[in-house]
Amino acid sequence: AVERADGLIVVTEWKAYRSLNFRALRTAMKSPVVFDGRNLYEPAIMSEQGITYFGIGRNQSVVPVQGAIYEERHAQLQRH
């Protein structure tokens, strides 16, 4: 669904969107840009994956999330 897309806009919290394959997403998209209206993803992780990321309503100068903190947040999202 994102093949050659100029961007992806996420406006749902459905589980299917919480664990995207970011490498495949970046490769498939014409321009790997994600607008995240639900703040499902961590900005530092998106940056590491080569995806331009905008968390709507989120301060863009976020301190990068490190290993254990990311894993804890990811586990919390999976439970909901």
pLDDT digits (tens, 9 = 90+) for 10-63: 999 999 888 889 999 999 999 899 999 999 999 989 988 889 999 998 776 444
Torsion angle, alpha carbons of 71, 73, 51, 10, to 10: 140
Scanning the structure block, which residue is given the tokens 């490769």? Answer: 27
Query: What is the reported pLDDT for 65?
Result: 45
